[in-house]
Amino acid sequence: MSIHRTYDLAIEGMSCAACVGRVEKALSATPGVDRAAVNLATERARVRLTGPGDPADLVAAVEQAGYHAHLIEAGARPDDAAEAASLRWETIRLAAAIALTLPLVLPMIGMAAGVHWMLPGWVQLALALPVQLWIGGRFYANAWKALKTRTGTMDQLVALGTSAAFGLSLYHMASGNGGDLYFEASAAILTLVTLGKYLETRARRGTASAIRALMALRPDEARVKRGESTAMVAVEDLVVGDVVVVKPGERIPADGRIENGSSQLDESLITGESLPIDKQAGDGVTGGSVNGSGLLEIAVTAIGGETVLARIIESVQGAQASKAPVQRLVDKVSGIFVPVVLAIAVATFAGWLLAGADIETGLLNAVAVLVIACPCALGLATPTAIMAGTGVATKAGILIKDAEALERAHNIQVVVFDKTGTLTIGQPRVVAVMPAEGRTEEELLGLAAAVQQGSEHPLARAILDAAAERGLSVAKASGFDSLPGRGITATIGGRAILVGSPRLMREHGIATQALDDRAADAEGAGNTVVWLAADGALLGAIAIGDTLRDSARNAIQEIEKAGISTVLLTGDNRRAADAIARLLGITQVRAEVLPEGKAEVIREIQAGGMVVAMVGDGVNDAPALAQADIGIALGSGTDVAMEAAPVTLMRPDPMLVLDAIDVSRATVRKIWQNLFWAFIYNLIGVPLAAFGLLSPVLAGAAMAASSVSVVSNALLLKRWKPQAGRKKEST
């Protein structure tokens, strides 16, 4: 079995979707690479290696493709200081470009107002030259690298277009024929593109705000108890078993268990739960939570990449690094975009010459074609929306592990709910003990508890808790045999004891008629009835009830209002399942389904052409979660829940199921809006430029605006609000 290793790389020098394709191609061709995904919005690559591949080869492959790269340590925080320094340098470059270009453009504005005044040619050259060589230097460098690898990028279009305008102006100056100078066009194009890149960079930082907020939750130091004193140590140096002291208002440094003290913890940035949670000795806590008013001593149970917070960050980064299915279309278009634009530019130049225009007119219109085309916007359309969508989902307590799940969820037509722990709180309690004639409640409960010892099933825990509350002595059992979906058998004092469902009783020929009526009444109230028998004779039955989650009924109603059908899927008997379904307003019920049969039920629904989401606890429902088009694990962010499904709800609120669908729909809308804007700029702009209706300067402005509009539109997703939060605020 091959071992997969995943590495993240920071990529420098990418400017458009064509660059993304080139880097992905270079990485995919590296020996040992199983999968490579490059994100223009984050300027990162995520690569999965199998076998003996060397991560240093990944960096070398990117460098050979003409870009710079370096490995990013897993879970590393963004280098805010470096990013701030880079942004300052970009600001200086932009300010210098504007200062040099403004004197060139002002006379053109004056001419439009009837003021005819023009700078001398040598002054124009002096102003335009540093813009062309210094501000435009990066475009030339990147264009040359792309040319060497025989690929086309946005940098080549900018370099060709501005060089043509600048070169034509130099020719007119040198020839002395009095021809028009276009230094202002080349300088304005470069300045506008630089302005667009600057605004785009600032906006893109906004799409990564969720990751930054999560990473900011990790404190740098922890106060570790050493005997009777404490010492400050780096969080990275904590080990499992350390006892950390957390004062009021401080963040929990790592996952742990409270040893001493009680308090309220704010877990809102981890679970999306806005209200503080009461915690006391023995309770588990999550690293990154904010301590309320109490002093806590916490034993560390998980550190580094094993903490819940680290896993959340890893999942969000993985989702933002992955590609949505619609991106495949964009990748195909981007692969041929630059060659097609170059062909259109050449055709424009030739067409104007054939129409009788002079070389200058044909060249300027060809330049406008080169400049208006913007594959950069195409490359940003999908990933910026994915980043913004996964970001707001994470803040709401919805963890989406990959872009494909985020895109696919908007098509969900049927939501199948598991019952226990999903629509109920998952903490059943014994509500009635029904012994057969000649038996006592204590005998029945004691035998049931003996058989259930060691089991973690919710119904077993309910029986064990009830026996403990009554102070019953529990005998030792042997010969356990678990029968999934039916019950369990064991031997106590030489007697063969059966504990389980009516199906188990029927399989062993046990007559239950004496208690059928009482059992039916209990099941009609929504309780689950567990039957007991020994040596072929009925001992009695135990009714166990669970409490519906507060938001369960409202969640079902809202999901149905959204045009999505709901189904209750459970191993419980038909009467209990129907009773719960009536309380919730669910009309479709699949009851008495064994664990292995749940996936088959999902397949049956899918066979009818439906897109199905399965909502479960991430453990017993794993086959059904895997079979569903979208698996949604409803839990509290445990390791098992995170691994079980592509979508994990960080708190057990069924209303978040609707929110997950809603954020998917909002994100997909933004993706298609972005793609519309990215394509419409080119579909309208390129013909206008080719027919001489768009000057090179306006073309440059439109090109810069296209990227900024795409990113800004994606950022509007940050306004999305979860239904769960709104319902809570209104109560």
Closest CA to 666 of 615, 708, 702, 713: 713
User: How many DSSP H helices and E strands does the chain contain?
Assistant: 26, 26
Separation between Cα atoms, residue 191 and residue 699, nearest integer Å: 12
Q: Is 3 buried (19+), middle (13-18) or exposed (0-12) by CB count in 10 A?
A: exposed
Contact in structure between 381 and 678 (CB atoms under 8 Å):
yes
Separation between Cα atoms, residue 462 and residue 499, nearest integer Å: 14
Sheet containing 33-39: order of strands: 33-39, 44-50, 4-12, 68-72
Phi and psi (nearest 5°) for 94?
-65, -45
Phi and psi (nearest 5°) for 475?
-70, 165
Contact in structure between 385 and 163 (CB atoms under 8 Å):
no
Residue the block writes with tokens 């030489």 = 494
Residues 6+ apart with CB under 8 A from 74: 8, 305, 314
Separation between Cα atoms, residue 108 and residue 435, nearest integer Å: 98
Separation between Cα atoms, residue 473 and residue 458, nearest integer Å: 21
Structure tokens at 159: 């370099």
Active site residues per annotation: 418
Q: In which element (H, E) is residue 647 found?
A: strand 647-649
Extended beta strands in 165-293, E state: 221-226, 229-234, 243-246, 255-260, 263-266, 277-279, 284-285, 290-291
